[in-house]
């Protein structure tokens, strides 16, 4: 399989509960870490409300400018679960009972329990490809480069593994962190110099406060391990000269 050098994705979080602040989104971080590990970089995340036209417009815009789009939320049995119907409209596909999904849920539930509410979860865009759900039965689905996952974090997590062969990533994005006992302003100039000498490497600087002490984590990200090593050496060089304590490297 020929790997592209840069593969990118957008994550689209659908749900009023995130926008209201009631629920803390954790799916972004779960999906992003998993995508990094298979060589896909997240370019953008959007959180939008449960409004059909907003979902349609946002999906149509994101799917054009990203290799992959992952949506979370809105595929359950209640009235506010409108992702499947909205995606059908976005792709101009019929919204209908998915026979394979119907069979899966029919055999998942005890006789008589596959009621009207649950049957809503098998309505999908015509000919959508299923994303199997080892936790609670109801599958997600995939149309072209858009992958629709549930909002419940534990269920979403359990479904990512099954997607591995559907996503063609580039080289995995590697990351190296150097945590220092210092403050950002002490290293800002030297770090800028290192960044200027390594323009194709992503260097981030993040203050932290742990066990009553201030520190800074420098995160170096690239697909190329030798470039990370080289950059790391240059950073440790000025760190040593400045007599700054290295708390952790990983």
Q: Which chain residues interact with a copy of itself by CB under 8 A?
A: 13, 15-26, 28-36, 41-50, 76-80, 115-118, 120, 152, 154, 173, 175, 184-189, 191-192, 195-196, 202-207, 209, 219, 221
Q: Is 139 helix (H, G, I), strand (E, B) or coil?
A: strand
Q: How far is the CB of 213 from a copy of itself (least distance, A)?
A: 15
β-pairing verdict for 68-72 and 8-14: parallel
Place of tokens 């590697």: 174
Nearer to a copy of itself among residue 28 and residue 145 (C-beta)? 28
Nearer to a copy of itself among residue 30 and residue 88 (C-beta)? 30
Nearer to a copy of itself among residue 24 and residue 165 (C-beta)? 24
Q: How far is the CB of 186 from a copy of itself (least distance, A)?
A: 7
Nearer to a copy of itself among residue 32 and residue 132 (C-beta)? 32
Cα–Cα distance between 186 and 167 in angstroms, integer? 42
Q: How far is the CB of 152 from a copy of itself (least distance, A)?
A: 6
Q: How far is the CB of 4 from a copy of itself (least distance, A)?
A: 19
Nearer to a copy of itself among residue 50 and residue 67 (C-beta)? 50
Q: How far is the CB of 238 from a copy of itself (least distance, A)?
A: 13
Contacts of 151 (CB under 8 A, 6+ apart): 13, 14, 15, 27, 72, 73, 74, 75, 76
Largest CA distance in the chain: 73
Find the helix packing angle between 153-160 and 27-37, rounded to 10°.
10
Q: Is 74 helix (H, G, I), strand (E, B) or coil?
A: coil
């Amino acid at each position: 399989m020929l790997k592209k050098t840069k593969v990118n994705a957008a994550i689209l979080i659908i749900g009023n509960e995130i926008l209201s602040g009631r629920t803390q989104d954790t799916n972004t971080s779960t999906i992003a870490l998993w995508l990094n590990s298979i060589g896909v970089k997240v370019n953008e995340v959007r959180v939008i409300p449960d409004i059909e036209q907003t979902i349609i417009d946002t999906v149509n815009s994101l799917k054009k400018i990203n290799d992959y789009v992952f949506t979370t939320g809105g595929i359950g049995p209640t009235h506010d679960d409108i992702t499947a119907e909205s995606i059908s409209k976005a792709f101009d596909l019929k919204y209908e009972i998915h026979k394979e999904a119907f069979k899966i849920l029919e055999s998942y539930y005890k006789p008589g329990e596959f009621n009207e509410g649950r049957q809503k979860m098998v309505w999908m865009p015509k000919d959508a490809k299923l994303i199997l759900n080892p936790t609670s039965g109801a599958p997600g689905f995939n149309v072209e480069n858009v992958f629709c996952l549930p909002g419940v974090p534990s269920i979403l997590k359990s479904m990512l593994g099954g997607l591995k062969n559907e996503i063609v990533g580039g080289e995995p994005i590697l990351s190296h962190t150097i945590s220092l006992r210092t403050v950002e302003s002490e290293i800002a100039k030297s770090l800028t110099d290192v960044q200027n000498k390594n323009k194709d490497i992503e260097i981030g600087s993040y203050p932290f406060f742990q066990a009553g002490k201030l520190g800074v984590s420098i995160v170096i990200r690239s697909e190329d391990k030798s470039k990370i090593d080289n950059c790391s050496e240059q950073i440790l060089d000025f760190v040593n000269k400045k007599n700054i304590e290295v708390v952790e490297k990983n």
